[in-house]
Amino acid sequence: MNYEKYLNPRIASVPPSGIRRFFDLAATMKDTISLGVGEPDFKTPFPIRNAAIESLMDGETQYTANRGLPELREEISLYLEDRYSLSYDPDQEILVTIGASEAIDVALRALVSPGEEVLVPEPSYVSYSPGVIFAGGEPVGVETLEKDDFRLTGEALEKAVTPRTRALILPYPNNPTGAVMTRADLEKVARVVRKHDLLVISDEIYSELIYGGHTHVPFAALEGMAERTLTINGFSKAFAMTGWRVGYACGPKEIISVMNKIHQYAIMCAPRQGQVAAATALKTGRENGYEEVRRMRDSYDRRRRLMVDAFRKMGLHCFEPLGAFYAFPSVRVTGMTSEEFCSRLLREKNVAAVPGTAFGPGGEGNIRCCYATALDKLNIALDRMAEFVKENT
């Protein structure tokens, strides 16, 4: 049977993820040390896991409210106030979703009409542009450059705006580059956003993982920006809860209400135990000064320094990543493309990394390496990479 005529051409037009192809290749290898992961190497702290176990023992197996458990929304509101001085009403301005991924998807579907453009800084997380296309819009890449520390500049943004531009996705701290935006950088973006009357989907999933004395500034904290911003966050990275799939979107009640309409028909609600666990994560954090988050962040920070130092010593230019848990070194010195470098590194040295091109064409020449890997393995992987670079320069 020919399925072509049944399949939505819009969806079919999106190429499969560049990561997927690499995943298939890596899956054929044995004993690979992977720097290609996008998640913490910690398990969810036990008290958080235990809260979900107890919830199951108590027979809490029913749907929750569409917008999420009231106690979780209350905790999210307190957390954002406590950590970032953001103020969101738990009843009307917060929607709990299946990971930050769903929040982004639902936001795009709520905001984008056919023919409208959404600006996507690149390199960035793989699902923004497909999400825009699935929603019927046109993604417009805005290249960020290493010379600007991969920050989004006002000028680059201004150049990309057209009369059809509706929204900007703001992905900082950034996956894959590890770039962060300072308040001054964000102010420049805010000026363009105000001038062209844009909305901002600010994906702040890595907000807790920030190093070198920097602090995270949420876009909604800027003067006049709360009314134009959807703040997207979740529990995967800060609390090592990737598999639980719990995230959230906060923003103006008019937008959240439309997002909830999609969410309630498509999803109903995020899984209950994930929500219970997430509420526990925030409540315990609030009570103990986010001790677990700090412990994990300190551990990432040490490995971050180790990795960046190792890349520089092996002769790879590496800009200092100040957020998330990735380094994004340049492999141009080897004369190889990102793809070629990663394929050969995997085949010859059994170390997996992700070609920068998986995150947009601007990623050519760089590779993404995750330092959330056990120290002993990280050291072996870096030694092998050093050999590989030496053999090829």
> Does 358 interact with other proteins (rule: CB under 8 A)?
yes
- What one-character DSSP code corresponds to residue 173? S
> Does 360 interact with other proteins (rule: CB under 8 A)?
no
Cα→Cα distances 33→11, 307, 349, 373, Å:
34, 14, 9, 9
> Does 191 interact with other proteins (rule: CB under 8 A)?
no
> Does 54 interact with other proteins (rule: CB under 8 A)?
no
Among 17, 85, 87, 288, binds other proteins (CB under 8 A): 17
Number of residues that bind other proteins (CB under 8 A): 31
Q: Please, is 116 exposed, middle or buried when counting C-beta atoms within 10 Å of its C-beta (0-12, 13-18, 19+)?
A: middle
Considering only CA atoms, which of 151, 149, 198, 155 is closest in space to residue 172?
151
Retrieve residue 242's tokens: 């990737």
* Rounded to 5°, angle at Cα 241 from 272 and 207: 115
Q: Which is nearer to other proteins, 217 or 310 (CB)?
A: 310
Among 375, 387, 391, 393, binds other proteins (CB under 8 A): 375
What is the DSSP code string of 266-332?
Answer: HTSS--HHHHHHHHHHHHHHHHHTSHHHHHHHHHHHHHHHHHHHHHHHTT-------BTTEE--B-G
How far is residue 279's CA from residue 297's CA, in Å, rounded to a whole number? Answer: 20
**Span from 32-40, 50-58, 163-171, 331-339 in contact with other proteins (CB under 8 A):** 32-40
Q: Which is nearer to other proteins, 54 or 309 (CB)?
A: 309
> Does 37 interact with other proteins (rule: CB under 8 A)?
yes
Among 54, 72, 86, 126, binds other proteins (CB under 8 A): 126
Q: How many CA atoms lie within 13 A of 154 on its CB side?
A: 15
How far is residue 160's CA from residue 171's CA, in Å, rounded to a whole number? Answer: 16
Contact set for other proteins, span 291-320 (CB under 8 A): 298-299, 302-303, 305-306, 309
Q: Which is nearer to other proteins, 69 or 296 (CB)?
A: 296
**Span from 20-28, 218-226, 263-271, 276-284 in contact with other proteins (CB under 8 A):** 20-28
Q: Note the residues at the interface with other proteins (CB under 8 A).
A: 17, 19, 22-23, 26-27, 32, 34, 36-39, 41, 125-127, 175, 298-299, 302-303, 305-306, 309, 352, 354, 358, 374-376, 379
